[in-house]
Structure 1
Amino acid sequence: MSSQSPVVMVGQWITIGSSIPGYVFQVNGDGSLEVGYYQNRSKAIKETVVWREARWTFKFQGPNGSYLRGAEEEIVKRGPHGF
């Protein structure tokens, strides 16, 4: 297994953990990503994820992130097509 993260671009959908679809809003200089996801089918959240143990995982444990609004919220609520 490679410890190096895959190449990811803004606008791409990734999988967080084993099953959470996440939309990439920003690629940070340290390789982490700012990703929007739909939490419990009720809230669109933006949070930082990092490549750890061959998968994207949340950088911080516990509640951490911000609510998405407007166009960003709609992208996340629509979800990935064909993902």
Structure 2
Amino acid sequence: MHIRLYTKTNCPLCDKAKAVLTELLADYSFTLEEIDIYKDDELLEKYQLMIPVVELDGEEIGYGAIEKEAVRKRLRRAQNS
């Protein structure tokens, strides 16, 4: 499983989302890739008002205030399929 976390600098919600994902790494095996949307104009246009955005294996599973249990549920589902 691969998670992309779309972020930007000076973003408290992004920091919180990263902390949630780091905690979940203890229970689930996935790679975590952090992508700064300000380094790609297309990403900036797409996610500017949504960040942070969590994407699991190419599917957006959350944005804004990331809920740990919602991400856990999606990871569990992905792991069992």
TM-score, scaled relative to structure 1: 0.27
TM-score, scaled relative to structure 2: 0.28
